[in-house]
Amino acid sequence: MTRAQTPVNSQRRLLAAVREARDALRLTQKEVAEALDWSVSKVIRIENGSVGLSTTDLKALLLHYGITDRDRVETYVRLAKESKQPGWWDEYRRAFKPEFVRFLGLEASAFAIRQFQLLLVPGLLQAPEYVRSLMAKGPNAPDTIERAIEVRLTRQGRLKDLEFQHHFIIDESVLYRRVTDEDGWRKQLAHLRKVAEQPNVTLQVFPFTAGFLRGMRSSFQLMELSDQVNDYFLVVEQPAGDVYFDEAAGADKGAEHLKIFYQLEEAALPPEETPRMIDKALARLEEE
């Protein structure tokens, strides 16, 4: 299974190993803190990744857990150093909310992404004209709009890596909900058709005739971050803003939404029908 090489994944691999080592010894976070003369909050912040793990603290933890094998220690030290390397998303920390910046890092680190969209073209599939028009409908300054386009295009770079899988289901209404002017919309539909031909992208249309399914209550994006069981990051769109589910909540909610996605996938038109549905939308555009 392919794993994206990013600072985020290096950190997640390291912290998973640290937590597993503590669990194997049946030690509580409080017991570890007392043994190392740390605060309990420090152990908690280290394990949830809210603070960086220095090489000195890492080696102290490994020694306490009885991990002294040289190769194993060096592997963990390497992961710690890699986790501190900046990702492309770090340059946007001042421009966007921390939750969104973290989302960017996790999305770049996922080896598989599944997304269901009720209303809009998924961000990874949006053409520049679509992004610009979408952002212009809010109280966004021109430089904010251009930055948003820049981020979208950078995010879409992962589509070029054919080893990463992307599965999209869009409601049929998305093909007709014109966000741009006519020319921009024509470009967006043509872009969808082109991307759908990539071997690592599956794009399905959920037709009007399919009726209603439970998973249609909201749009969501589910990322698989590793080959470990239930290692998911879930984003559920809500009117007040996106809701993020990670760690334990992400595992439970992720597994639930994976089942929902499979149901939507089964009810949607097969991928082979997508070009026809897009051509139908394009033809209707030309008739206007």
3-state secondary structure of 234: strand
Among 114, 82, 83, 121, CA closest to 233: 114
Model pLDDT, residue 225: 86
Among 233, 266, 256, CA closest to 113: 233
Dig out the tokens for 235 from the structure. Answer: 């984003």
Model pLDDT, residue 2: 45
Say what the pTM is: 0.86
> Rounded to an integer, what distance in angstroms lies between the CA atom of residue 118 and that of residue 178?
14
* Residues 175 and 277 sit within 8 Å (Cβ to Cβ): yes
Classify domain 98-125+155-287 at the CATH superfamily level.
Endonuclease Chain A (3.30.870.10)
Task: Give the pairing type, strands 232-236 and 243-245.
Answer: antiparallel
* Residues 230 and 240 sit within 8 Å (Cβ to Cβ): no
* Residues 135 and 150 sit within 8 Å (Cβ to Cβ): no
* Residues 82 and 136 sit within 8 Å (Cβ to Cβ): no
* Strands (E) located in the chain: 112-117, 165-171, 201-206, 220-224, 232-236, 243-245
* Residues 168 and 221 sit within 8 Å (Cβ to Cβ): no
Model pLDDT, residue 139: 76
Angle at the Cα of 2 (from 230 to 155), degrees rounded to 5? 85
Among 130, 134, 127, 165, CA closest to 261: 165
pLDDT per residue as tens digits for the range 105-145: 999 989 899 999 999 999 999 999 998 898 888 777 888 88
pLDDT at 1 over 90: no
> Rounded to an integer, what distance in angstroms lies between the CA atom of residue 224 and that of residue 260?
15
Ranges of each domain in the chain: 7-83, 98-125+155-287
Model pLDDT, residue 3: 52
Among 158, 160, 159, 126, CA closest to 145: 126
In terms of phi and psi (left: phi > 0; alpha: psi -120 to 50; beta: otherwise), the region of 18 is alpha
3-state secondary structure of 279: helix
The residue-averaged pLDDT of 169-179 equals 96
The residue-averaged pLDDT of 232-259 equals 86
Q: Is the dihedral of CA 253, 258, 260, 264 positive or negative?
A: positive
Model pLDDT, residue 143: 83
Task: Give the pairing type, strands 165-171 and 201-206.
Answer: parallel
Give the helix/strand (H/E) hosting 141.
Answer: none
Topology, domain 7-83: 434 Repressor (Amino-terminal Domain) (1.10.260)
Q: Among the listed ranges 71-85, 121-135, 158-172, 234-248, which one has the minimum average pLDDT value?
A: 234-248
